Amino acid sequence: MTDAAARAGWSRFPFLSFCWAGLILLLGAGALAAYLVYPRLYGLGPVVFYLFLAALAAFFIILGGGLLLITVTSLTGIDLLYPHGKPSVTVRLLFPIAVLLAKLLRFDRSRLMASFVKVNNSLTIAQSKRIKGDRILVLLPHCLQIDVCNRKITNDISNCMRCGRCPVGEFVEAGERRGLKIEVVNGGTLARKRVAMWRPQGIIAVACERDLTLGIQDVHPVPVYGVINDRPHGPCVNTCVDMDNVDAAIRFFRKS
Ligand code: SF4
C-alpha cells in the first residue's frame, strides 16, 4: 500500500488517541493544581486566583484547539491548520506525553512513531495549496548505501556510480529527472545543516520512524513528507525503501 493509500487507513489513530489522552491527563492535572493552590491564591486576593484560572484556561484552549485542528485536518484533509509558518506548540507539548503514555501502556514505540509520521504526512498533504514545489530537498539516510560500496556519497551524491546494488542510484536518476536536490546524511546534525543550507520549500525524508519523528519536529514548519525505510538486515545497515512511496511524495510536491 502506498502512503497516499494509507491516508485513508487507521494508522493515524494511535498518535492522535495518545495525544487526546495526554490532553485529558493534563486537564486533570491542571484542575488538581487549581484546587490545591486555591486557598493560598485566594488568600492573596480573588483577582490573583481568577487571573491564575484565566491563564490556565487560555493554556488549555490553545492546546486543545491546536489538537482539534490537527485532528480534523488529518482526518478530513481540509487545511484548518493555524497559525501558518509557526512552531507547533501543540505537538511540542503533547508528543512527549503521548510517548510516555504509550510506554506506560506498553504500546509499541515504533508503531506510535510511524503513526506520528502518517499524521504528519496527512497534514503536509492537506497544506498542498500553500506549498510551492520549486525547491524540494530529498534527505536520505547513509544506511541506504550498501555497506560494501566505498563511494563517498555524503559529500556529493553524484559520486554514486549507479551500479544498481543499492537504491541510491535510483535516487540520483530521479533527482536528475525531476529536478530535486538530493542529500545523503549520516545523522540529524548533517540533516539540519543541509536544510539550513538549501532552505527548501518542502522535504522528502527517508529514514526510520525514530529519525523521521525527530527530524520532522526539528525542521517544522517546513513541510515534510516522511517515508519510512525498510530494514531487512536490522537497523542502520543496508536498508531499502519502497520507491512507490517515494514516487508518491515526489508527485505530491511536484503536483504532477
Ligand atoms: S548504487 Fe552502487 S555506486 Fe551507488 S551508492 Fe549504491 S552501491 Fe554505491
**pLDDT averaged per 10 residues in sequence order, the chain, 256 residues:** 53 95 96 92 90 95 96 94 80 94 96 96 94 91 97 94 97 94 94 95 96 94 96 95 96 89
CATH architecture of residue range(s) 132-254: 3-Layer(aba) Sandwich (3.40)
Residue 240 Cβ inside 6 Å of ligand 1? The answer reads no
Q: Is the pTM of this model over 0.75?
A: yes
Separation of 34 CA from ligand 1 center, angstroms? 60
Residue 142 Cβ inside 6 Å of ligand 1? The answer reads no
- Give the model confidence (pLDDT) of 204-214 as tens digits: 999 999 999 99
**Domain definitions of the chain by residue range:** 3-104, 132-254
Separation of 174 CA from ligand 1 center, angstroms? 14
Residue 165 Cβ inside 6 Å of ligand 1? The answer reads yes
**pLDDT number for residue 256:** 77
Axis-axis angle for helices 46-76, 89-104 (nearest 10):
80
User: What are the cell numbers at 169?
Assistant: 542510484
Separation of 164 CA from ligand 1 center, angstroms? 6
Separation of 239 CA from ligand 1 center, angstroms? 13
- Give the model confidence (pLDDT) of 135-185 as tens digits: 999 999 999 999 999 999 998 999 999 999 999 999 999 999 999 999 999
**pLDDT number for residue 86:** 74
**pLDDT number for residue 113:** 97
**pLDDT number for residue 9:** 60
Residue 143 Cβ inside 6 Å of ligand 1? The answer reads no
Nearest CA to ligand 1 atom 8: 149
Separation of 163 CA from ligand 1 center, angstroms? 5
